[in-house]
Amino acid sequence: MPSVSDKEITVARVYSNAMLRLAEAKGEADSLFEEMDQLVSLLDAHEDLDGFLASPMIDPEVRKVSLEKLFRGKASDLLVDSLQILNEKERLDLIRAVAQTYRLDHAEMRGWVDAHVRTAVPLSDGLRTQLEEVVSKRTGRRGRLEEAVDESLLGGVVVQIGDEKLDASVTTKLQRLGELLSERGSREVYSGKDYVEAGE
């Protein structure tokens, strides 16, 4: 989830906008989106790489060579060139923010909307299309589902679109019922009604 600050977002947007414009002109906007996504998961998996990119201790000239070796040919030229520009401007520490703003702006441009779906069991294809329909009905945009399996939900589904959260999970319902019962319990206690029989 986002842990980038307002300031970073503002700066990152400048780069991601430029990348999006270029990619769209070349017809690579969608594939660049996927590549960025993969890059972020790569960074998540390899802390060292993350550190290597973000550290101000490493000379940009050195990093430039490594970047070429690492990515050229394996990723699109657009992505590698963008990384090089970020490196040159010493802004590589913003790569996650850039990916995030790219993701948002790309969805905006396409008229898509990101929906995070959590379920207790993996979604079936039928359910997936149903959910996509629900999302597009609610938002008037095409839903791009991001699925996750969360067994702690027990059942049901939790859908989050932007700031809006639709919670139809079994856990939440049970929790509500629990709150209701304890509220009723305290009311009964204060009502002074005796639930204990004397004697024995």
125/197 with CB nearer another protein: 197
27/140 with CB nearer another protein: 140
22/104 with CB nearer another protein: 104
Considering the complex, what minimum distance in angstroms separates the CB of residue 193 from another protein? Answer: 8
Residues 30 and 142 sit within 8 Å (Cβ to Cβ): no
149/180 with CB nearer another protein: 180
Considering the complex, what minimum distance in angstroms separates the CB of residue 148 from another protein? Answer: 15
Considering the complex, what minimum distance in angstroms separates the CB of residue 108 from another protein? Answer: 14
CA distance 18 to 82: 9
CA distance 143 to 138: 10
Residues 119 and 150 sit within 8 Å (Cβ to Cβ): yes
Spatial CA neighbour of 32 closest among 95, 130, 141, 106 = 106
Interacting residues toward another protein by CB under 8 A = 1-3, 5-6, 9-10, 160, 162-168, 172-173, 176-177, 180-181, 184, 186-188, 190, 194-200
Q: At what angle do helices 60-71 and 47-54 cross, to 10 degrees?
A: 140
57/181 with CB nearer another protein: 181
- 131: CB partners within 8 A, 6+ apart: 115, 117, 123, 143, 145, 157, 159
Considering the complex, what minimum distance in angstroms separates the CB of residue 5 from another protein? Answer: 8
Considering the complex, what minimum distance in angstroms separates the CB of residue 10 from another protein? Answer: 7
Spatial CA neighbour of 2 closest among 173, 162, 151 = 162
